[in-house]
Structure 1
Amino acid sequence: MFKKFYPDKWVDSAYVIDFEELYQSGVRGIIFDIDNTLVPHGFDADKRSIELMERLKKTGFQICLLSNNKQERVERFNKDVNVLYIYDAHKPSRKNYQKAMELMGTDLKTTVFIGDQLFTDVFGAKRLGMPNILVKPMNPKEEIQIVLKRYLEKAVLHFYKRTSGG
């Protein structure tokens, strides 16, 4: 029942992912959520996120930010990382995951999605068959609608852990 929400992989942070291994496996495009994935909710790009984006670009990755946030928020974050982006993405709708791949020139075999929410980020990627990585939220301080979803996520992740041995 919950399997359609299970991430392909679940890690502590976007900053612990072995991106070189992803590149060697053929991944060329990475779609990132922003809030609580790369920086705490509402924060501007920081030194760590800027350095990560620069490292990924040097490795050869195309990068696209995919956010349900408004244009101002996404552009404010992006001004320091300078990657492709889509705001007001309506995740988990498939449309903008597809648009992100088009912008990057990648496809489902060469793209991975990285985000912190099951019911928007991971579910949207899974609806397309896109490989995905769930990261633990960076900061527990979130908007009320997200806090409520986290309770449901906890239940799904409980079953995920039981079936995955994690």
Structure 2
Amino acid sequence: MAKKSNTNVIRQSVLGKAIVNYFRPTYYFKSISKIDLKYLRDVGIKNIICDLDNTLVPHYIGIPQRKTINFINEAKQNNINFFIASNNTGKRVERFSKNLSNLDGFYSNIKKPLTMNLTRIMAENDMNIKNTIMIGDQLEMDILAANILHLNSILVEPLFDESYNYSNLTRFIEKFIYKRLARFNALRKGEYSSLESNIDNKIL
């Protein structure tokens, strides 16, 4: 019985560590407005790959809001290139992005958490894992993709709660991931990051 119990503990530990490795963001903030772009510049970030829906604007907003425009303008002022990479359709992403004069590029149908298209974007724009960071609102899409690529990442709270549209399985998986991250003190809902405390612990 003791041997079986020890085996279960080991399995749980291995699973927990795997979840931390794949789903823990480098940083966690309430919104993009809380991100210190000057600090990112100072530690070597030159490129941002950002999700669109519920990260920059709620999914039902068709054009950039002032805070989105200001955020991208501030990135440019800090010599950081800004790219949108969305799983949404080309029509949606293009309609939104064409209103952003300071945008360096936009990409649709990315199929996150698969990384093939993200790898292509990085190659086309001379990005590498040390000078690029991903921003998104979903652990199982944006953060998982970033961690597979060994990129630094920023998780933000969704600007609109779409959990009612999720299947029961998707909701279960998301809750399971958050619970495991909390158990390993890797991430807790509502406990946001300090930039200085995290970046040296990952890639840069």
TM-score by length of 2: 0.74
Indicate whether 1:95 and 2:116 are aligned.
yes
CA distance in 2 between partners of 1:139 and 1:146 (Å) = 17
Q: Give me the CA root mean square deviation.
A: 2.0
Determine if contact 1:89/1:96 at 8 Å carries over to the other structure. yes
Counterpart in the other structure of 2:202: none
How do residues 69-80 of structure 1 correspond to structure 2 at under 5 angstroms? Answer: 69-80=88-99
Indicate whether 1:13 and 2:13 are aligned.
no
1:107 deviates by 0.6
Determine if contact 2:163/2:171 at 8 Å carries over to the other structure. no
1:104 paired residue among 107, 122, 125? 125
1:120 paired residue among 138, 141, 147? 141
Give unpaired runs (5+ residues) of structure 1.
Answer: none
CA distance in 1 between partners of 2:167 and 2:32 (Å) = 19
Cα distance 1:117–1:147, how it changes in 2: closer, same or farther (>3 A)? farther
1:63 deviates by 1.0
Indicate whether 1:57 and 2:76 are aligned.
yes
1:104-132 residue CA offsets vs partner (Å, 9 max, x unmatched): 32211100000001111111111111111
CA distance in 2 between partners of 1:132 and 1:146 (Å) = 26
TM-score by length of 1: 0.90
- The secondary structure found in structure 2 opposite 1:124 is helix
CA distance in 1 between partners of 2:169 and 2:59 (Å) = 16
What letter corresponds to residue 56 of structure 1 in structure 2?
A
1:72 deviates by 0.7
CA distance in 2 between partners of 1:22 and 1:56 (Å) = 9
Determine if contact 1:6/1:156 at 8 Å carries over to the other structure. no
